[in-house]
Structure 1
Amino acid sequence: MITAVAPPMLADQSDRAVVDAPVTLITASIAGEIAALSVQPGSDVATGQTLAEISNPRVDRAALISLEEKSADSREKLSAALSKSQTDSAYIASLDTEIANQTSQLRAHLRSQIEELRARVAQSSAMSGEKKALVDRQSDMVSRNAASMDMLRPTQQQYSAALHNTDAETFKLNQKVSQLDALNKGIYVGDDSVAINILAQKRRDIELDAKSMDIEARQQSGIVVNLQKIIDTEGGRLERLGAATVVSPGSGTVLTVGASTGRHVNPGDTIASVVDCDKRFVVAIFSYRQGENLMPGTRVRIDGGALRSGVITSVLPRTTDKADERFAVPFPQTERRELYAIIAPDREDGARPVTKTTEPATCTVGHWVTVTRENGIVPSMSVSWRRLGHLVAYLTGSGRSPTEAERLDATDRLKTALRSSDQRAARALDEDWVPRSHALVTR
């Protein structure tokens, strides 16, 4: 009970530590079949490297076809409106020419009528003067009793008729002058202007129709432009849905491949997961009683892998399944009153080794390691028992009974490895015991 409970609560060492790293899920952007897959688990990838090709020949193009039909119909309406507008413009030009010709002829005719009426007015004025002179002479004769009133009355009537005739001719003259002025202003009145008035009304109707055609043409032109933009957008969308290239968003090592060539995938399905081994860190479990000794900035030793030392960056009381999805390996399960220590390896340790051999560099993500706080004095019991087993294997692997000096030497080496802060001694002990224990097992 003491060896099982007390040491984990006070130990400065933990073998419940695993190397972890952020993982990036490479997902399918469209639905389709995997046409090509160029990665395998464990292979290295670079940023922008092509990982897979997805093709989808069964893309629904009904929306694009409908849009193209609407665009074609709008283009036909636009063409018809433009043609009608051009026809109306030509007809208006023809009506303007005809109205101008008839207006010119009518203007000349009115001018001749005005001249004629002016002559008639002058003639009527002269006749009125003649009749007036006759009336005056007869009136004088009547006043001298040289003539009777019966002779004067017809003359007076003729004079009155001459005056009225002059007034009538004057009114006709004024009417023709007013008609000519209105004609010059584009106003068509009178019986002589009926034909021109009909042409002018028809011109106004055609002009209104031409304006309505211009408005419709502008509307259809806007519709065609908008539909073309939508068609281009839909075409681009279908092009993206028809084929897609899956590339790596960053560099790293392929952890898993969840698809194969010819397999059907849906948008969001995971094709592969890429782990960035250059961002490795260690997750270690300690007792909550060691929280004060494991503050951020505390240096630790790391044994059992490629990492050698590091610094605690944060301490977490717990984690969640959602948070674990962001990493290559789920955090180890903690018991009650335990916490996580997140350790960032030193730069020279965390960097991936560069070799001149053709063999790819291994990624130690997922390996279990032992973490020891520097200057720590209380070892982990599980580590102690394991190393004691290594000692037994070392002692029994020689094939003879060890001498007292050898036993004392082995005991001293065990104590030194368990308690010393010198990591080279612990590493040398492990490197010596591991091959001997392996030889003992094989025997």
Structure 2
Amino acid sequence: MAKLASPDARRGNSAAVARRLTGRVLKLGAAATIVYLAVRAIASGYGYVGTNNAVVSAQITVLRAPIEGYVAAGEITEGQELKQAAPVQTISSTKQQDAQLADLETDLKRLLKQRDAAQGQREALASLLRDLKDRATAGNAAQVARISAIMESDRNKAGSAETRRQQLERDYERKLSLLRSGNAAPAEVDRLRSDVIAAAQEVSAANAATQADLSARDAAQGGVLSEPGSNDVTYSIQRADEVRIVLIQVDRSITDLNAAAEQARERLEAARRYNQTSAIIRAPISGMVWKVGAINGERVSPGDVVLEMVDCGRAFIVASIPQYRMSDVLPGGEARFRFVGEDSERVARVVSIESAAAAAREGRFAALPQSEREATALVTLAAISTPNSANQCLVGRTARVLVPLRKGGALRDWTQRLGLDQIWRGLTS
């Protein structure tokens, strides 16, 4: 029979059990803390695609040489702040004025005078055309009034002829009755019958004349003359048509002279630029010198880059993401970013999404994320809340960015992370 444990042994065993329980509780607590932190980290990034390849950038403003010459200015260094309209560089040339300038100026003046003369001629023709239109309108009104009077006279003649015809018909009926009773001679009846027929023809002729007058009046109201021996339109209308043709020719001449004068002006300006002895380049914006393209004493040609500037006050964030995620990004959505070396998280809004290769070719950004092996896309973010950066240019600073995704984009993201899409393609292939 086993001996009973002493009280000291029992107390030692209880302490060991308590220590084991305490250790297990601490381990479970640590594991729960780790799981909580992991779940919180995963939840904070759910619905976003994260990238560490992001940089603060700005649009590059390029200053080019307007003339050929040598750069002569104060010391301009990269990172130097410049105010808008401040003189940046001066380009000097030793070339002398060419006599060709005088010839070009003479040609331009001659073309401008010819154009002014053509415009004066056009104004005179336009005034004549207005007068002819007024005369034609007055002539048409007179023709309409004259024809209306003739038509009224013919209408009255038709009425008179109709009255006479009716009277002759009544006389013919009475003579015919007298002839039946033997009180009238047949010759008188035949004469009255002929008179009735003649009166009916006179009525028809008068009505036809009235219809002809009506047609002539309608044509005259439209500016067309239909009288025998006359032209189809009045003299004023004919002259107006001729003036319109001349106006078309004058307008074409004015257009040609304007084009020739513009070409002469461009040649003159080009010659002046070519013969210009100096030019001052001023800063178009307030910003920082990003790159110096030409130093003091360097010879430049027209169009050469002499300076590049950036406006640090309008900086934005450019983030690189895999190109296959372009369709998942939510335009206008709120992204989150944190500058490297800082703990505070800030908010930005998605402005645009484009191919990284296209943006690199255009070269309009001061800074771009590092190039990667796989095809990437660039997401531009306009900062909504920016850090306190007084007297500090953030262009070139890197950041960690969470880009918002459309609905369903996060699910595809986790499917690709877990490799479920590869498994599905393997099963269906």
TM-score bin (small chain): 0.3 to 0.5
Return the TM-score normalized by structure 2: 0.41
Return the TM-score normalized by structure 1: 0.40
Give 1 or 2 for the bigger CA radius of gyration.
1
